[in-house]
């Protein structure tokens, strides 16, 4: 799991001195008045009205839970309310496109995950947004581990059992996902690739329906965000086979990591970050980053995040952008090698 050290961004002030004639001074004053109307010049007064935090997932999803946990504290630090707005659809593309076209004034923000920033650009031929050019990175927020689960009536109780069965009958074992190209899809493809097996993908419209299909026995497996699957594991509705993380989960001490189960594959990234439209003023980004990090560091919020198996991240805009680029490179290569594509 990666971590960040927080270094708030700083603004720079420029002092100028003029000895121009009176008419030039008047003209300069007019230019100054125009400049003061620009977003950058208004950074000192930011924010002076509510901020929208767009979530590319439905209410009750992991991203939605994180946004609502943080929004009040971010607002109190900034002195303006932060309103969470859900815009689900098309693996986050609806929300991504919406925010890319918004004014770059800091009042419209987005809480995307690694799927939207690093995976989608490698999966879709005609993506209506450019992850590299259309957004200003503001701050990392959280990361989250994943767990591979099978239905309670499944014959697979361990990852080695699953691999042996899949090798004996290729493509006969099914796995659910929250949608083609989603983290829950690619993570299971990663396991299959590392094990040298073929599984049959059954995409659903969201993590909830996908997990319910495994619980109901319509599908054999799913790789789920740990926080979502844990209640079903504890309730005996699904069986955990392996955790896709660097270390075992404290609530599942007897469940091995994927590497401990014999597969040499990397942990699945599950990070979320806050971004805005391209061209945001650096001073505004600095204010937002400081407020977001303050919210994450708040003891009560920090505990709630950890209780839900979200790992709080502290860091700068530059650090989370570097991580997004790193994941885009790795997963782009993986997607191309395995011929994974979404129309």
Which residues in the chain belong to E strands, given as ranges?
51-55, 82-86, 108-110, 135-143, 146-151, 174-177, 200-203, 221-225, 238-244, 272-277, 311-312
Total number of domains in the chain = 2
CATH number at residue 275: 3.40.190.150
List, in order, residues 6 or more apart from 116 with CB less than 8 Å away: 56, 91, 92, 93, 95, 96, 131
Are the CB atoms for 104 and 136 separated by under 8 Å?
A: yes
pLDDT surpassing 50 at residue 333: yes
Residue-wise pLDDT tens digits, 67-121: 999 999 999 999 999 999 999 888 889 999 999 999 999 999 999 999 999 999 9
For tokens 């091995």, the residue is 256
Same domain (yes/no): 139, 188:
no
Residue 104 falls inside a structural domain: yes
Residue-wise pLDDT tens digits, 265-306: 988 999 999 999 999 999 999 999 999 999 999 999 999 999
The boundaries of the domain holding residue 169 are 146-244
194 vs 178, which has greater pLDDT? Answer: 194
Residue-wise pLDDT tens digits, 111-166: 999 999 999 999 998 899 999 999 999 999 999 999 999 999 999 999 999 999 99
pLDDT surpassing 60 at residue 61: yes
List, in order, residues 6 or more apart from 253 with CB less than 8 Å away: none
pLDDT surpassing 60 at residue 31: no
Residue 225 falls inside a structural domain: yes
Same domain (yes/no): 139, 153:
no
Residue-wise pLDDT tens digits, 225-241: 998 899 999 999 999 99
Helix (H, G, I), strand (E, B) or coil at 85: strand
Residue 249 falls inside a structural domain: no
**Mean pLDDT for the stretch of residues 307-321:** 93
Residue 30 falls inside a structural domain: no
CATH number at residue 221: 3.40.190.10
Q: What is the pLDDT of residue 343?
A: 65
Residue 98 falls inside a structural domain: yes
Q: What percent of the chain shows pLDDT beyond 90? A: 72
Residue 23 falls inside a structural domain: no
Residue 257 falls inside a structural domain: no
Same domain (yes/no): 53, 135:
yes
Q: What is the pLDDT of residue 126?
A: 87
Q: Report d(CA 244, CA 9) in Å as an integer.
A: 33
Alpha-carbon distances of 312 from 142, 196, 268, rounded to whole Å: 4, 34, 16
pLDDT surpassing 90 at residue 2: no
163 vs 10, which has greater pLDDT? Answer: 163
Residue 38 falls inside a structural domain: no
């Amino acid at each position: 799991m990666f971590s960040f050290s927080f270094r708030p961004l700083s603004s720079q002030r420029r002092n100028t001195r003029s000895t121009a004639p009176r008419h030039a001074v008047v003209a300069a004053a007019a230019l100054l008045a125009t400049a003061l109307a620009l977003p950058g010049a208004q950074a000192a007064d930011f924010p002076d009205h509510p901020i929208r935090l767009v979530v590319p997932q439905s209410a009750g999803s992991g991203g939605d839970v994180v946004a609502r946990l943080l929004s009040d504290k971010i607002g109190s630090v900034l002195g303006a309310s932060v309103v969470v707005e859900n815009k689900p659809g098309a693996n986050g593309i609806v929300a991504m496109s919406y925010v890319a076209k918004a004014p770059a004034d800091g009042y419209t923000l987005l809480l995307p995950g690694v799927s939207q920033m690093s995976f989608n650009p490698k999966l879709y031929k005609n993506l209506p947004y450019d992850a590299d050019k259309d957004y200003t990175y503001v701050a990392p927020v959280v990361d989250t581990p994943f767990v591979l689960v099978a239905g309670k009536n499944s014959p697979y109780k361990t990852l080695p059992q699953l691999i042996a069965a899949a090798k004996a009958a290729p493509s006969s074992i099914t796995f659910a996902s929250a949608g083609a190209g989603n983290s829950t899809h690619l993570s299971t493809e990663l396991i299959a690739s590392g094990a040298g097996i073929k599984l049959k993908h059954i995409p659903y419209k969201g993590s909830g329906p996908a997990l319910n299909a495994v619980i109901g026995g319509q599908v054999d497996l799913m790789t789920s965000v740990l926080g979502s699957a844990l209640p079903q594991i504890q309730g005996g509705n699904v069986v955990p086979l392996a955790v896709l993380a660097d270390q075992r989960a404290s609530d599942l001490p007897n469940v091995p990591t994927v590497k401990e189960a014999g597969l040499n594959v990397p942990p699945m990234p599950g990070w979320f970050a806050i971004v805005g439209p391209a061209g945001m003023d650096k001073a505004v980004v600095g204010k937002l980053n400081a407020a977001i990090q303050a919210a994450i560091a708040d003891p009560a919020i920090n505990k709630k995040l950890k209780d839900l198996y979200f790992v709080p991240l502290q860091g700068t805009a530059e650090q989370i952008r570097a991580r997004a680029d790193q994941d885009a490179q790795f997963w782009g290569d993986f997607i191309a090698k395995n011929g994974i594509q979404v129309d």
